[in-house]
Structure 1
Amino acid sequence: MNFKSVITIFCFAVLLGCNAEFQTPVSNENATLELTRLDGTPIPSPAMDEFLLSKMEELQIPGLSVAVISKGDISYLRSFGVVRADTAEPVGPETVFEAASISKAVFAYFVMTMVEDGTLDLDRPMHEYLPLPELEHDERYRSITARMALSHQTGLPNWRFLEEDGKLDIKFDPGTEFGYSGEAYEYLVAVVAHLNGVTPRTLEDVFQERVAVPLEMTHSSFTRNAHWDAHKAYGHEAGVAEEDRWYTDLSVFGGAHSLHSNAEDLAKFALAVIEGRGLEPDTYAEMLSEQVVLPDDQPIRTSFGIESWALGFGRSSTEAGMKYAHGGVNEHANAYFMVIPAQGYGVVFFANSSNGLALAEELEGFLGVLAGSSERSEG
């Protein structure tokens, strides 16, 4: 397996053939509001269905789970297609998809619940909570904080296995610039687990208690469980076993990459972000505040319009207000999340295809989300 193909920032639109039969969309009765574009213009649900089905066929996406939030509530919630390209089993309300790097946004919210109750200090060096022996050779690691981890300022690489020497090293002085890093998130996972008296193998219980249960995210989990085994949407290529598609142990909480969820659950999370639900106003404001500005020539900025980073989210200016977004790319699985809190508006979707994120820009265009594009990060 080519691990470099599992996670890469910029290769999300590789066209792969598939013969999926596109199913009649599965609706959810909870989506009772009128679907609208960002400017409030109504969109008949059949027109949205037709648009998505046409894009699924064009982009060869076998399965899709999608939700739109307008007027501060879920106004559109649909499932389309099949759980894997070599079967006729339809995607439905129970189906879960790989969230990939959208995991980082949900994990950041989880961390902020601990910042709020004093369990974790964003600006206390993480080594004071839990040393990381692999970095003790570099004195700079002692300045790395949770704030730097959540805003990609640690100097750590994205993933060590993508480095030529396979080692974990600091690439720049922590806190001085932006550098996307899954490794930093995994270090923070270890710290969070330690502070809660558990391990990364049992941190899921804490996440469920603090986030999933309060937000009613009933099908969301960072670690493998029986529901995954029974209801997971598999990747674009038929016959690829889950164990062969991952570079890590799915029984371990992966704050940077391992979340599995669906559009209804992620829409509930989006509503919490829009409303600041579950966090005090000061904590909420801190989470979404600008932490680091991306240079004009930074590839994520030039390619995807991300202007700055908050704690767990990319930030882009739009005519309607600040857009907070994250994308996810795993091999044969893409996901997308964006909200504009000032408008009570958002879009989320999951696709079991390498072509899923090619849908994001077109869907935002269809919905009238203006100016700025969101980060399509790796899983």
Structure 2
Amino acid sequence: MKIKFFALFTGCILFLGALKTSAQKPDMFIANGKDINIEKFNNKILYLMDSIGIPGASLSIIENNKIVYSHTYGYKNFNDKVVADSNTIFEACSLSKTYLVYVTYILREKGLIDLNKPMYQYLEDSRLAHDPRYRLITPLMILQHTSGIENWQEDNNKDVLEIIEEPGKKFNYSGEGFEYLAKVISKILNEPYESYVKRIVLDPLNLKYTLLKFDSVDKNPDFSYGHNLFGKRNEKWISAVPSPASSIHTTSTEYAKFLISFFDKTRLSERSVTDMLTTKERLYNEPGADYYIANGLFTIKNTDDQLVNFSGSNTGFKADMLYSVKNKRGYILLTNSELGIMLSPEINKISTQLPAHVWFNNVEFKNLAFLNSLSIAYRKSDKDQFLKEIGRIVKDTPSFDPEDFEYFVSRLMRSDKATAESVAEVLYKHNEKWPYMLYILGMSEYQTHHNYAKALDYLKTARNLKFTSGNIDTHIASCEKELLTAKK
């Protein structure tokens, strides 16, 4: 059954966010020197959430290094219409990495870690020892995402953790690198990750709702579920062990407190902040602005300001933060939707007004806008109308990114396999040498229709076109086995 278009939140959701004001009228907060009417602001956010299909969000606004407004919108569980509140925790996604960045610089100030010392000299990593280049990797390279380590082991050869770029030479985002750095710090301190992050970060800042892992629904009842492109609730990620790269759960208010502590000079020295924001590699640019990876954070350099940025994606969640070092102003956005970060440009426009066009114009936002258009068409149309719309988009948008359609179909396969198969058929007719669509059609014939001969034809063609994901060799072998069994 299709997810119905979200009912307009404005008239049905209580304003449950934790409202923080500082000598201001209760119906206003100040951002960028302007009075922001809270009711109008919230109505705008709720309208956007409804239009896009975002179930829930936690938002905090920083002005002059103070949290001037925090609010939690919508639902933590859209399927059951369970409303989120100010203490509802969301997955921080890759913003989790910033806690390790913070710890690393505090330890450097104490002389406990050398950012330029090869990591293996602190702790060897058996998963990387097969490649001698791993002995070149330093903590600084991890912070810069220039270690060369692949993002996650399963990205390429799932049996081997690979170094895919020369260490120190080129930006290559790596979650595995942060996992390794966390273990190095554990070795240095002789203390588990959970213990030292709690001691160094959570306890001093009184972050009592922030969790380094989510290991029990019963133990942590006020949490948000993630939701896919179509508003369908995902199963909750339960993990017995933390992932320093991605597993932290928090509220926007608590993350805002943490972010302020990076720059208010109460815990990190000016030298640490300067070094942390020293740029390593320019990733993209527009007139008047450049987007860089720096020594721990992403940063935007404008003519008269430097902005700090970090965003992240977990299954069913998006997170984003933006902060002006000069103006001490920014926002933190945590959402329980794969489309959630689409709120960021409008939040900035109607509140913080930071010069971040180089961030908002990048390919991620363009891809999400395209996915959102597909999602809206799916939710609003019947199947025949939707398939016609897919055909029209393919015909009228010759420059579309094939990976956007592949991502969309992969998500649709989890909730509506019949429609996903039909979309793959439309796209296959557009391009009969599209490996991913051949794979989807092959898996549909194999798993749903049990037409093993047809499945084998699709899957072999996909493999011949260099499609290697999804255990395709295993599926081909299974089809061949089924055909042999049928002959006996």
TM-score (norm 2): 0.66
User: Is the 8 Å Cα contact of residues 334 and 353 (structure 1) preserved in structure 2?
Assistant: yes
| Alignment counterpart, residue 300 of structure 2, candidates 287, 291, 316 | 316
For 1:54 and 1:322, the matched residues in 2 are separated by: 31
Structure 2 counterpart of 1:114, which letter?
L
User: Is the 8 Å Cα contact of residues 20 and 62 (structure 1) preserved in structure 2?
Assistant: no
| Alignment counterpart, residue 276 of structure 2, candidates 280, 287, 296 | 287
| Alignment counterpart, residue 191 of structure 1, candidates 184, 192, 195 | 184
For 1:320 and 1:49, the matched residues in 2 are separated by: 31
Q: Deviations over 1:5-57 (max 9, x none)?
A: xxxxxxxxxxx86646731222324333553343x222111121111111111
More off after superposition, 222-231 vs 154-163: 222-231
Which residue of structure 1 lines up, in the alignment, with residue 236 of structure 2? Answer: 242
Q: Deviations over 1:271-319 (max 9, x none)?
A: 11231331122222222222x12255xxxx68xx762222331111245
Q: Secondary structure at the match of 2:227?
A: coil
Shift of 1:362: 2.2
For 1:319 and 1:57, the matched residues in 2 are separated by: 36
Which residue of structure 2 lines up, in the alignment, with residue 356 of structure 1? Answer: 340
For 1:326 and 1:55, the matched residues in 2 are separated by: 22
For 2:227 and 2:354, the matched residues in 1 are separated by: 28
Shift of 1:151: 0.7
User: Is the 8 Å Cα contact of residues 287 and 310 (structure 1) preserved in structure 2?
Assistant: yes
Which residue of structure 1 lines up, in the alignment, with residue 350 of structure 2? Answer: 366
Give the structure, 1 or 2, with the largest relative contact order (CA under 8 Å, sep 6 or more): 1
User: Is the 8 Å Cα contact of residues 94 and 311 (structure 2) preserved in structure 1?
Assistant: yes
Shift of 1:178: 1.0
Shift in CA distance, 26/165, structure 1 to aligned 2, threshold 3 Å: closer
User: Is the 8 Å Cα contact of residues 16 and 71 (structure 2) preserved in structure 1?
Assistant: yes
User: Which runs of 5 or more structure 2 residues have no equivalent in the other structure?
Assistant: 366-488
| Alignment counterpart, residue 210 of structure 2, candidates 210, 216, 220 | 220
For 2:7 and 2:234, the matched residues in 1 are separated by: 16
Which residue of structure 2 lines up, in the alignment, with residue 3 of structure 1? Answer: none
| Alignment counterpart, residue 313 of structure 2, candidates 322, 325, 329 | 329
Shift of 1:162: 1.4
Shift of 1:320: 5.3
Shift in CA distance, 212/18, structure 1 to aligned 2, threshold 3 Å: farther
Structure 2 counterpart of 1:35, which letter?
F
User: Is the 8 Å Cα contact of residues 290 and 302 (structure 2) preserved in structure 1?
Assistant: no
Which residue of structure 2 lines up, in the alignment, with residue 231 of structure 1? Answer: 222
User: Is the 8 Å Cα contact of residues 189 and 254 (structure 1) preserved in structure 2?
Assistant: no
More off after superposition, 119-128 vs 274-283: 274-283
For 1:263 and 1:295, the matched residues in 2 are separated by: 27
User: Is the 8 Å Cα contact of residues 101 and 143 (structure 2) preserved in structure 1?
Assistant: yes
User: Is the 8 Å Cα contact of residues 97 and 245 (structure 2) preserved in structure 1?
Assistant: yes
Shift in CA distance, 18/203, structure 1 to aligned 2, threshold 3 Å: farther
Shift in CA distance, 18/166, structure 1 to aligned 2, threshold 3 Å: farther
Q: Secondary structure at the match of 1:229?
A: coil
Structure 2 counterpart of 1:208, which letter?
K
How many equivalent pairs are there? 347
Q: Deviations over 1:225-268 (max 9, x none)?
A: 5686311100115453224xxxxx72323121111101110110
User: Is the 8 Å Cα contact of residues 273 and 341 (structure 1) preserved in structure 2?
Assistant: no
Q: Secondary structure at the match of 1:92?
A: coil
For 2:84 and 2:140, the matched residues in 1 are separated by: 38
Shift of 1:149: 0.2
Give the aligned CA root-mean-square deviation in angstroms: 2.5
Identical pairs, percent: 25
